[in-house]
Amino acid sequence: MESSEFHHALALLDWQIELGATEALGDVPVNCYDLPARTEKPVAQAATPAVAATNAGVASAAAPSVDAVDAARTAAEAAGTLDDLRQAMAGFDHCPLKKGARNLVFSDGQAGAPVMIVGEAPGREEDREGRPFVGAAGQLLDRMFAAIGMGRTHEAAPVYITNVLPWRPPQNRDPSPEEIAMMKPFLERHIALAKPEVLVVMGNISAHALLGKRGITRLRGTWTEAHGLPVMPMCHPAYLLRNPAAKREAWADLLDIRARVSGA
């Protein structure tokens, strides 16, 4: 072998070693780029009726058809207490959001309080702690209701807080209509078991879930009704953090809530 051919072959070997080749599998070199003269096509064999029936049965068993909304409704209606409802929601596996969440965010405050606040969905801090409204928006919410003598830990005038969804959507995205419909039976049962006098819906997602309407800046400040209860739509505290000028209107909504609860 001439010197140039030797060094060329050695360079090719070094290159293959760098690519991860560790051993030769044959004594004769193989050109992987050569195409066979003719490729034999595999002949599909027809399955016997018994095998076909078995395969169909396995496929059917592997992918059962479940109506998630009906399953949620059945589980929610079976809950006789708030603890039962929490357990039913924790055991509900048909919502994909559950797989990516750290914690079930069920409620906070005092059950049986005259005011029940319904938020939209947990954020990062809520998912971490397993309680609704604990981030920056939650701190503003607490200050808002403290200003009218109410709060989640207030003994004389407590509030009760939950969300439309108990699990955090990825990247804090808006819940999909399918996710809202799936969890709505649990929310409706939650309201029935908590027995508030007044509902406060915070933000567009809550308004859509309970009132079937969107446009919270238009809806806010006007009493309406849902599930046999008076409802006050309000802008979400996160919106107020981004738009401080809207706090004046939120203050008027809070005064209306206090007057409604006190009977003034």
Domains of the chain are: 69-262 (3.40.470.10)
Say if residue 80 is exposed, middle or buried (CB neighbours under 10 Å; 0-12, 13-18, 19+).
exposed
Quote the crossing angle between the two packed helices 68-77 and 82-90, to the nearest 10°: 150
Q: Whole-model pTM?
A: 0.76
d(CA 220, CA 205): 13
Q: The tokens of 246 are what?
A: 């809207």
How much is the pLDDT for 65?
79
How much is the pLDDT for 262?
81
Cα angle, residue 242 at apex, residues 238 and 243 outer, rounded to 5°: 110
How much is the pLDDT for 4?
59
pLDDT, tens digit only, all 264 positions of the chain: 555 576 666 666 665 665 556 556 555 666 655 655 555 555 556 555 555 555 555 444 454 578 999 999 999 999 999 999 999 999 999 999 999 999 999 999 999 999 999 999 999 999 999 999 999 999 999 999 999 999 999 999 999 999 999 999 999 999 999 999 999 999 999 999 999 999 999 999 999 999 999 999 999 999 999 999 999 999 999 999 999 999 999 999 999 999 999 865
Residues facing residue 163 across a β-bridge: 119
Own/partner pairs, 128-133, CB within 8 angstroms, 24+ separation: 128/102, 128/103, 129/103, 130/102, 130/103, 130/104, 130/105, 130/106, 131/105, 132/105, 132/107, 132/108, 132/161, 132/162, 132/163, 133/108, 133/161, 133/237
Q: The tokens of 121 are what?
A: 């969905």
The owner of tokens 């929490």 is 86
